[in-house]
Each structure stands twice: as C-alpha cells, then as structure tokens.
Amino acid sequence: MSFPALRTPFLVMAGAFGLSACNPAGMDWDLRTANSLNTSEAARTATANRPQADARGVLSYPGYQVAVARRGDTVASVATRVGLAPQELASYNALTTGDPLREGEIVALPRRVAAATSDTGFGGTTAGTAAASGVDVTSIATTALDRASPAGGTAPAAQPATAGPEPVRHKVARGETAFIIARAYNVSAKSLADWNGLGPDLAVREGQYLIIPTAKGSAPADPVAVTTPPGSGSPTPEPPSSKQPLPAETPQKANEKPKETPPSPDMSKQRTASSAAQFAMPVQGSVIRGYAKKKNEGIDISAAAGTPVKVAAAGTVAAITMDTQQTPIIVVRHEGNLLTVYAGVDAIKVKKGDAVSRGQTIAAVRAGSPAFLHFEVRKGIESVDPMPYLQ
C-alpha cells in the first residue's frame, strides 16, 4: 500500500519516537542503535557547528549563498534585508512571500547578493586564500562565468566567502525525509536539523534547499605509552647527538658559486616553434570573443561539447568550484605567481591539490549554445590578456 509523499516524514518520525520510547538514554538520531550500543552521541559530534552569518544573516560560499532567518522573519522580510524581490526568493525555495520562518532556518538565495557593508560577523576570513601568494583563487573562480557570457555585462561585486569548506547543497526531492538525506551524506539527522533550522518534527518539503554539515578536523593521534616496571621510574630519552658527534662542516656562503658547476646550457637555442609559447592552447578552436579589461577578463574559444580541455602549463589545481548555475570552474596555479582559469567545463578529471602537467586533460567542454571554453590568465588577482602567453 502506498502513501502520499507528504505523509512520509510523519510516518518516519512516528517510528523514530517509538524507538526512543524503548531507549531510556534518549533517541538515537542516526538510527544506528544495535545490541544496546547507542552511537547517537558520536553522530552528534561528528560535524562542526554551522558558521556565523554576516550582519544581514547571509552565509557566502564560492558556489552559492544562503540567508539565515531571524526571530519573526517571513520570506518577504528576509528578501528585503538581502536586497531581493520577495516573489523571486519565495519561488526559489518553494514558499510564498508571507510564509513565516523559524529562527535559524536556512533560505537559499537564487543569485548572489553584494557584500555587506558592516561587520561580516565571521571576521572577514576568505576561504581558499593561497598562503604563498595571498591570492583568493575561490573568488576568482566564483566570478569567472559571470564574465564569460558572450552577451557581455558587468560582473557583480565579489562576496567574501565564509571560512571553512563549502558544504554540499541538497535540493529535497519528493518522498525524501531528513533521515533519508542525513543517511545519504553520512551525517546525523540532528546535525542536519541544527544547520538548517528544521523544526522539532524534522519535516522537509519538496524543492527545499538544505546545506549538508561539514565534518570536524580529525583528532590528533594519542601519544604512544611507554610501559616500565613498577618502581623503576620513567626512562630518560636519549639525546639525538649521543651516538656520534655532528660532522665538521664549512657551510658555503650564499653568494659563492658551487665548485665544479657545469655551465648552464642555453635552452632558448633548443626551443622549437611549438614550444616557444609559455602556455599551450587549452582547446583547439577559434577565439569568438577577445580579452577586454573589466568586460571580458579572458578569451572565449569555440569548441564542440565534449572536447577535451587541456591544462595550459604545468602547475597545481588551486580550486574547483561552481557558480550559482552549478557550472564547474577550475583554477590552476603556475610558477611566477600566474593562475589560469577554465570556465564552462564538465566531466572534471582532477581534484584540488593535484599536480598537473602541460597538455594534461583536466575536463571537457560543457554543452551550450554555442559551446565554448572561457580561459583566463591572471597575475596575482589581476587579469591579463592571455594571447601573448599563447603565441
């Protein structure tokens, strides 16, 4: 016998509270109780706390933004506070403009809003900042596709990203419950409820957006215990230099040339025409839109959907993220404080932190009308014309 999808959460909750009645220690939120072993406490502590929102209640990540409701809020009041049309916000979250919101409830924003002018509430920390060069690669990736459209347009002001890893955003499908979603992502239903401001019944609705709690950092390893006989005292550690003295060394001065160093070959004489360019073309095709500072921060290269996208030069994958339309973006860091950005891609074959070599396939061109790859070159945070690097 089948039940309407709307009744499913209540049936699951009824069963869950029935289990709680048999367990004096309380309800096992992740439903893993077996042989009187209750793992609910471990599940409750497995994830970090939800980050603090900014002054307007907005949590910003490279791929999306959400708003946290305050006491007495409605969909319309949240929309007014963040600068969106109430009907637009309501429609995106499967709500009406007058629907009341619980304190702490998450509302997904249909598009990015400008940065708050007052204190952000989380210390202004920007996720994904490169320690070596101070370049915020996630903010570069987030706004890459905003400038990639052939129709042009001005990119919105970049919003500082909330500190910590970006949580997965899940859109509730018909028949799903909080327990089903929590189990699918291996988090506890209690953490899912805390992060999204769910009610006591943990009810969710079709079309609602939930953010999945992120895991805490791994705990430090316990020190290895040294067992000694009773009364013998603790052993004295042996100093590192006790076995043999350090060798006598005469360190070479920094400005001295090493002895017997062979002369460096002139590599410029060995370069061929194909290797003369600093960067290789990521895809073979015609440039349908050229570089224009503050209008198009890169070039658009026409290519058929599914065409392999190859990294322009050896480097390290600095960021992989998505824009608000869930379109992937890849940022690769190279020597000389250079970054390359690949937007409008699909079928990504690398992950953040991977070392990549020149010509290695990292993704494929995403289907579109027309299909094209948006390619940027940046010195630090400033975009530069890619063509001199490709010729």
At residue 144 the predicted structure's pLDDT band, cuts being 50, 70 and 90, is low
Instruction: Using alpha carbons only, give the angle 108, 215, 316 rounded to the nearest 5 degrees.
Output: 90
At residue 321 the predicted structure's pLDDT band, cuts being 50, 70 and 90, is confident
Fold observed for domain 287-390 = Glucose Permease (Domain IIA) (2.70.70)
Residue 326 burial (CB count, 10 A): 9
Q: What is the mean pLDDT of residues 154-161?
A: 47
Domain ranges of the chain: 287-390
Structure-model confidence comparison of residues 168 and 322, the more confident one: 168
- Summarised one tens digit per residue, pLDDT across range 271-302 is 444 445 789 999 998 888 889 888 888 999 99
- Summarised one tens digit per residue, pLDDT across range 167-185 is 899 999 998 998 999 898 9
Structure-model confidence comparison of residues 168 and 161, the more confident one: 168
Q: What is the mean pLDDT of residues 42-58?
A: 75
User: What's the pTM value of the predicted model, to 2 decimals?
Assistant: 0.40
Q: What is the mean pLDDT of residues 207-230?
A: 69
Q: CA–CA separation, 147 vs 158, rounded Å?
A: 12
Please report, for the chain, how many H helices and E strands are present, in that order.
8, 16
Closest to 344 in 3D by CA, of 385, 379, 381, 299:
299
Distance of CA 223 to the CA centre of its chain: 33
At residue 109 the predicted structure's pLDDT band, cuts being 50, 70 and 90, is very high
How high is the pLDDT of residue 211? Answer: 93
- Summarised one tens digit per residue, pLDDT across range 9-48 is 444 444 444 444 444 344 444 444 444 445 554 444 457 7
Closest to 28 in 3D by CA, of 47, 44, 12, 10:
44
DSSP H helices in the chain: 8-21, 40-44, 75-82, 86-92, 137-142, 178-184, 189-196, 387-390
At residue 243 the predicted structure's pLDDT band, cuts being 50, 70 and 90, is low
Q: What is the mean pLDDT of residues 101-120?
A: 79
Six-digit token pair at 388? Answer: 């001199």
- On the 0-12 / 13-18 / 19+ scale of CB atoms within 10 A, 258 is exposed
The answer to whether residue 332 scores a pLDDT higher than 50 is: yes
What's the DSSP call for residue 47?
A: B
Q: Determine what percent of the chain falls in helix, strand and coil, rounding each to the nearest 5.
A: 20, 20, 60
Bridge partners, 47 (sequence order): 215
Six-digit token pair at 9? Answer: 């959460």
- Exposure of 200 in the CB half-sphere (CA atoms within 13 A): 2
